[in-house]
Amino acid sequence: MPAQRRMFGVLTSALMVSAVVGSALVGLSGCGAKSGDAASAAAAASAPPPSVGVITVAPQLVGLATELPGRLEATRIAQVRARAAGILEKRAFREGSDVKAGQLLFQIDAAPYRAQLQSAQAAQARAEANREQAGAQAERYKPLLEANAISKQDYVNAVASFKQADADVASARAAVTTAQINLGYASVTAPISGRIGRALVTEGALVGQGEATQLAVVQQIDPMYVNFTQSTTEVLRLRKAIEAGKLQRSGAADAATVQVVLEDGSVYGAPGKLLFSDLTVDATSGQITLRAEVPNPGGLLLPGTYVRVRLQQAQASDAVLLPQQAVTRSPLGDSVMVVAADGKFGPRSVKIGGAQANQWIVLDGLKAGEQVMVDGFQKLRGQTMVTPVPWQPAASGASAAPAASAASSPAK
């Protein structure tokens, strides 16, 4: 029994020693963790602020452009129709080619009209002969009347016959002119210069019988019209801004620069000019119709094509152009990140007036000389200070990267 008590005391002492040693080890490990966190925080505090790309605000004169849907239309459209009845003998043009005004397009059988002209000319010759005879008789009767050799009635009849013969000559001349016109209609010519489409009839067809048969269509496509519409709300907003002095007119009083954006997104090379804006508003859509004229010497633009019309109606004198990635857009408004001279940064609300290429047009909210952050937003977490550096576009940065890596590589 005393031996068991001695054994229990030994075990108790060993357990107490183990507990004391464990507590000491735990205390040492806790102190190590606290010292590690403090070291990490100190290292983070001593690290330099991250670099971010910025652009220095420089207000400038910027044109405010609006893109509107439009449709191309030929400036002149002429329907080629058969004005003489007959059999179509030949087609004298190539479909889809350019034709000149007065150029022969179709030939209708002219034999009947040629015969009618000859008959009218013969009738005119007969009428002229009758007039000559009547005139000579009236001249002979005049001295006889003065000598009382004939009655006055005979002289009056002779003069009346001459006047009737003269009227017959005028009628015969008109018939000849009509026959010449009908003969001319047998040769169908282009009414205007332009591009002709496909032929609507073929050789051997009977045309012009009872109605003027349509044979083809000629369209003048240089220059071209582009018709588009703009909402009255936008028009009134621009006019009020111009009257208030916030914006300036683009060019003359009613002038505006027009650019056509094609279906593939490319901009047509030749700019156009605004011709007119409709004086009335469409009651169903609330839109104003506008028309512009665009040169088309190469025939690239085709009638009926849907395009986008970029219309510059006003200019902002103190606008700022920023890359689109620098602006944060949300339902609550637009904002940018402004970096102060001491490296502190913060958001700033701005007013966007539209887009130009890949840039936003900022109308209000920024001052000249301020720095706007363009890239490096992912480095802002947990930071209060940044180091602004001039922003370089991606293209120039990509081209500079290979050169920098080549310069940093060791020489062999």
Nearest to 187 by CA among 101, 93, 83, 79: 83
Confidence (pTM) = 0.61
**Considering only CA atoms, which of 226, 254, 204, 250 is closest in space to residue 91?**
204
The model's pLDDT over 195-221, given as tens digits with 9 standing for 90+, comes to: 999 999 999 999 988 888 999 999 999
Predicted confidence band of residue 245 (pLDDT cuts 50, 70, 90): low
CA distances for 369 relative to 52, 178, 393, angstroms: 17, 82, 20
Mean pLDDT of the chain: 81
Domains of the chain: 50-77+220-393 (2.40.30.170), 110-185 (1.10.287.470)
Res. 11: pLDDT tops 90: no
* 256 or 60: which leads in pLDDT: 60
Write out pLDDT tens, residues 115-165: 999 999 999 999 999 999 999 999 998 898 888 888 999 989 999 999 999
Beta bridge partners of 260: 309
- Cα 216 to Cα 196: distance, rounded to the nearest angstrom: 7
pLDDT in tens, 377-389: 888 888 888 999 9
Least confident of 97-106, 186-195, 233-242, 397-406: 397-406
Query: How many whole angstroms separate alpha carbon 275 and alpha carbon 395?
Result: 40
For 92-120, write each residue's pLDDT tens digit: 999 999 999 999 999 999 999 999 999 99
224: its two tokens:
């071209």
User: What is the rounded CA–CA span in Å between residue 257 and residue 184?
Assistant: 46
Helix (H, G, I), strand (E, B) or coil at 393: coil
Per-residue pLDDT, 148: 87
Give bridge partners of residue 351 from the DSSP assignment: 364
In the block, which residue shows the tokens 């357990």? 15
Residue 339 CA to residue 388 CA, distance in Å, equals 7
Label each residue of 244-295 as H, E or C: CCCCEECCCCCCCEEEEECCCCCECCCCEEEEEECCCCCCCCCEEEEEEEEC
Query: Alpha-carbon distance 412 to 407, whole Å?
Result: 12
- pLDDT tens, residue by residue, 267-308: 898 888 888 777 778 888 888 888 889 999 988 999 999 999
Rounded mean pLDDT, 170-198:
95
